[in-house]
Amino acid sequence: MVDAQAPGSAVRALARARRRPPPRERGAIAAGARRILVLKPHDQLGDFVLATPAIHALRERFPEARIALLTRAFLGPLAERVAALDDVWALPRVEGARSLASLLATVSAVARFRPDLAFVMNGVSRSKSADAFAWLSGARMIVGRSRVFAGPPPADAPERPGEAALDRSLEDPLYDLDVPVGRASVGEEERLLDLVRWLGGTPSPIPQLDLSDADRAAGRARIDASLQAAQIANRGPIVGLHPGAANELKCWPLESFVALGVGLATGSEAPPRLVVFDSPRERGRAAAVVAGLAARDVAAGLVPASGIGTFAGTVAAIDLLACNDSGVMHIAAAVGVPTVSFHSLGRPAEWAPHNDRAIAFHAPSGIAAIPVAAALEAVRRVLALAPRG
């Protein structure tokens, strides 16, 4: 377990100037909440997607409340596809006058919102910017987590983290309710749900992005175009390969993706149609897989790189995605696409999709150790399940 940093000195100073609700008032404030602010300004795609169950749980608990989200600007296209949200405010990287103006507009919007509840969705690290905006919002009550870490829950993790937090006095300088990770909360989505579970209900832990009909139609058109360009005309299920990831150590070898595609194309009388997804930050990997397949007389469509909103609609048009441990894995799962994923640095228990159409492989000694034969069998097994509804 790795504990992250404490709140910054600036946040501590600001927190001292804020009136905090006595512990006895916390339940009443929560029960009557009409405005709710969710703060998730971390930079990772997967971290954001794994927060969507908590956001949907808030909407289920407060159907009439106005719920706003503060997140990074590049995550905006995903946030706009979370139907539980009323407002999305972007936190840009300040690189010039225009981005500074955008930042000031966001600061103004948050300061005017005046929420009853603010939820700081800390994952494996504590966000100082989220703390600062929570204070700026003037929220009557701030909910967060000061003890953040990677790895299994600690031995002293409570069985009911919300009740444990409500029984505590105000110990953190900013959080009026400091909710620990629950003993049974192994997956990151479950840990984020712990921040809201104390409000009641039985929220689903499955991440969800909400696509429009236009998103889905555009996605189908992009997949169809890639198949047509590769002259693939059969009617088998569509399997996507995504060979990219931000960290090279998280990338299953390109030759393994090629071998997986060859096995799928040649091991059945009704083989699946193959498409390979390019990505903006890992250009070249997808083209290399397509070329490797072509050298083995296997055709695959190349899906051009796109923004994350477009990708969400596009991946929704396929029947399964085989991919590395990356944000695209979480996007695919959140739009209902089965996944077979390859992990090395992160434990699947914490970071893989957790549903009955997801299989994750883990090789902590090195991702190349994941065998192609096992991955091939997993893809076939998931494809053999009843069609997606």
pLDDT score of 18: 78
How is the chain split into domains, by residue range?
Answer: 2-197, 213-383
pLDDT score of 4: 45
Looking at domain 213-383, its CATH superfamily turns out to be Glycogen Phosphorylase B; (3.40.50.2000)
d(CA 229, CA 381): 29
- Mean pLDDT value of segment 2-22: 65
Q: In the predicted model, is pLDDT for residue 170 greater than 60?
A: yes
pLDDT score of 387: 63
pLDDT score of 6: 60
The verdict on domain 2-197 having CATH code 2.60.40.150 is no
pLDDT score of 184: 95
| Residues contacting residue 353 through CB under 8 Å, at least 6 positions apart | 207, 329, 330, 333, 339, 341, 360
Backbone angles phi, psi at 251, to 5 degrees: -100, 115
Structure tokens at 189: 């989505």
Same fold for the pair 2-197 and 213-383? yes
Q: In the predicted model, is pLDDT for residue 168 greater than 90?
A: no
Q: Which residues pair with 39 in a beta bridge?
A: 70, 120
pLDDT digits (tens, 9 = 90+) for 234-249: 889 999 999 999 899 9
- Mean pLDDT value of segment 313-335: 98
DSSP-derived letter for residue 250 is: G
pLDDT score of 209: 99
The answer to whether the beta carbons of residues 257 and 239 sit under 8 Å apart is no
d(CA 294, CA 84): 44
* Cα 349 from chain centroid (whole Å): 15
Higher pLDDT, 91 or 9: 91
pLDDT score of 304: 97
pLDDT score of 174: 94
d(CA 278, CA 240): 11
Q: In the predicted model, is pLDDT for residue 31 greater than 80?
A: yes
In what helix (H) or strand (E) does residue 374 lie, and over which residues does it extend?
A: helix 372-383
**pTM of the predicted model over 0.85:** yes
- Mean pLDDT value of segment 34-54: 95
Q: In the predicted model, is pLDDT for residue 345 greater than 50?
A: yes
**Which residue type, as a one-letter code, is found at position 344?**
S
| Residues contacting residue 265 through CB under 8 Å, at least 6 positions apart | 271, 272, 274, 293, 298
pLDDT score of 2: 42
pLDDT digits (tens, 9 = 90+) for 171-213: 899 999 999 999 999 999 999 999 999 999 889 999 999 999 9
Phi-psi map region of 387: left, alpha, beta (phi>0 left; psi -120 to 50 alpha): beta
CB atoms within 10 A of CB 280: 12
Q: Please, how many CA atoms are within 13 Å of residue 165, restricted to the half-sphere of its CB?
A: 26
The answer to whether the beta carbons of residues 153 and 181 sit under 8 Å apart is yes
Provide, rounded to the nearest whole percent, the portion of the chain with pLDDT above 70.
95
Q: How far apart are the first and last CA of the chain?
A: 39
pLDDT digits (tens, 9 = 90+) for 261-298: 999 999 788 899 999 999 988 889 999 999 999 999 99
User: What 3-state class would DSSP assign to 112?
Assistant: helix
- Token match 């981005």: residue? 99
User: What 3-state class would DSSP assign to 26?
Assistant: helix
pLDDT score of 42: 81
Query: Is 257 buried (19+), middle (13-18) or exposed (0-12) by CB count in 10 A?
Result: buried
pLDDT score of 5: 53
| Residues contacting residue 31 through CB under 8 Å, at least 6 positions apart | none
